[in-house]
Amino acid sequence: SNTLHIVGGGMAGSEAAWQAAQAGVDVVIHEMRPRVGTFAHQTGNLAEMVCSNSFRSDDSEQNAVGLLHWEMRAANGLIMSAADAHRLPAGGALAVDRNPFSETVTERLKAHPRVSVSYEEIDSLPDEGQWIIATGPLTSSALGAAIQAETGAEALAFFDAIAPIVYAESIDMSKAWMQSRYDKGETEEERTAYLNCPMDREQYEAFIDALLAADKTEFHEGETAGYFDGCLPIEVMAERGRETLRHGPMKPVGLTNPHQPEVKAHAIVQLRRDNKLGTLFNIVGFQTKMKYGAQTDVLRMIPGLEQARFARLGGIHRNTFLNSPTLLDTQMRLKSKPNIRFAGQITGVEGYVESAAMGLLAGRMAAAEIQGRALTAPPGTTATGALVTHITGGAEARTFQPMNVNFGLFPPVEGLRGGRRGRKDRYKAYTDRAKDDWTAWLAAAEGMAEGMAGTL
């Protein structure tokens, strides 16, 4: 049949349904709420915002998430149009009146002649038909088990343990240096995968004090601490003993500081390249529940990171997500079952806006496939394209953790000056390029769809 089935009517599923229906495809949304709940959702509405009511920055010239807003608006996104309709005053951020927002999304989808909603939990991966799975970070356990059976236990995570990610250009290389532990690595790529930041005893002790004193987030109800083995937050390690970190992620062995070859470091913080572009580095083993403000203060105590800017801060959450770089093709299809696409947070993006954007793309791709045309992914120079490129291959699969949109995912624009002023110019250059490329991609996609309609 030519019907598209979407499992999960959240941010991604709702947008996917809208896009496919607007393209002329019949859609059934299968949503388990209100029959089966999650620990975070409160209502039976589609596209419920589970926590904050913010879509973050709306600045499409200087901010990557603002650019994503712009791209979704240009593509007639339902999530953006409902958010704009229920916008609350919040300076440069797009804050949303959450209940009217999700009611509007629900009503507009239900009113669409091509959309129907079936309130049921789906607990297996269908063998036939076109499907999009967009069940989010709180995917029901039965479906989670079915996905795990298909993909293998290692390829589906139930928690994220996110180490902070730093923009490479903001690391002070007069203090840090590039070296893998014991100079391991066969290729140039492997040997340039690590940066190191040294600490003397005094710096280490001050760092531990700050870590112990920092404000931390409590776990949500329904989150268990059972996943702790192997990914303890650094502050919990520090609580277990002042030397624990020095024997764990901060061990000063197998590394020589070329800036001070005669001095033995007391502790060393390692950063690992986080994307193929080499623009982002994560701090190895530094998953943390420190609050964001405290986190930047504490992390900037690390020598070399005094001026660090963060593409994302660390966290630990209940989060079901795939190892997309190994499992999904560039059409967001499961390689082993190509009648199934994934979209939203379960693909390893992070955030309401990013999830909706991946729904937008998956909905359009599925509709195109049903209608017998091919829709290639948008170029990696656009925000949507940068995200999908990251999750379907740009990210390091071995250490894959959920990602929010940021300029570190974009191919660099060459020939621009450094420094703060330079950064503003660079971000503007990124967003100008993205808008041109997104507009051209949309026009090509829509031209193709019209061409098809003409032949039918």
Tell me which residues touch ligand FAD (CB under 6 A).
7-13, 30-33, 38, 40-41, 50-52, 121-122, 134-140, 143, 220, 318, 344-346, 351-352, 355
Q: How far apart are CA 198 and CA 124, in angstroms?
A: 49
Query: Measured between alpha carbons, how far is 135 from 362 in angstroms, rounded to an integer?
Result: 13
Measured CA angle at 430 (ends 425, 436), to 5 deg: 125
Q: Which residue is nearest to ligand FAD (CB)?
A: 10
User: Judging by DSSP bridges, how do beta strands 130-133 and 156-162 pair with one another?
Assistant: unpaired
Question: What does DSSP assign to residue 399?
Answer: G
Of 55 and 427, nearer to ligand FAD (C-beta) is: 55
Residue entry with tokens 């609580």: 239
Least separation, in Å, of the C-beta of 81 and ligand FAD? 17
**CB distance 273 to 180 below 8 Å:** no
- CB-wise, 40 or 442, nearer to ligand FAD? 40
Q: How far is the CB of 356 from ligand FAD (least distance, A)?
A: 7
Judged by beta carbon, residue 30 or residue 312, the one nearer ligand FAD is 30
Nearer to ligand FAD, 123 or 239 (CB): 123
Contact of 227 with 159, CB cutoff 8 Å: yes
- Across-strand partners of 290? 216
Q: Which is nearer to ligand FAD, 217 or 256 (CB)?
A: 217
For ligand FAD, the closer CB: 139 or 371: 139
CB of 344 to ligand FAD, least distance (A): 3
Query: Smallest Cα–Cα separation from 308: which of 343, 282, 337?
Result: 282
Q: Can you say whether residue 105 is alpha, beta or left, with left for phi > 0 and alpha for psi between -120 and 50 degrees?
A: alpha
- Cβ 254 to ligand FAD shortest distance, Å: 37
Distance CA(131)–CA(395), nearest Å, equals: 25
Decide whether 135 or 270 has the Cβ nearer to ligand FAD: 135
**Nearest of 59, 86, 78, 79 to residue 70 by alpha carbon:** 59
Measured over the CA atoms of residue 237, residue 242, residue 245 and residue 250, the dihedral's sign is positive
CA distances from 64 to 52, 239, 374, 425 (A): 19, 36, 27, 14
| Least distance CB 351 / ligand FAD (angstroms) | 4
Query: Which strands, in side-by-side order, build the sheet including 194-199?
Result: 177-178, 194-199, 267-273, 280-283, 165-167, 310-312
Least Å distance, CB 212 to ligand FAD, is: 26
CB of 137 to ligand FAD, least distance (A): 4
Angle, alpha carbons 95-69-138 (nearest 5°): 70
Could you give the C-alpha distances from 439 to 318, 378, 444, in angstroms and in order?
Answer: 36, 10, 9
Q: Which residue has the tokens 């529940």?
A: 289
Q: Which CB atom, from 147 or from 237, has the smaller least distance to ligand FAD?
A: 147
Taking the complex as a whole, the smallest distance from the CB of residue 366 to ligand FAD amounts, in Å, to 15
CB of residue 129 to ligand FAD, shortest distance in Å: 15
Give the DSSP H/E element, type plus range, for residue 333.
Answer: strand 333-334
Q: How far is the CB of 136 from ligand FAD (least distance, A)?
A: 2
Looking at beta carbons only, is 134 or 199 nearer to ligand FAD? 134
- Considering the complex, state which of residue 137 and residue 304 has its C-beta at the smaller distance from ligand FAD: 137
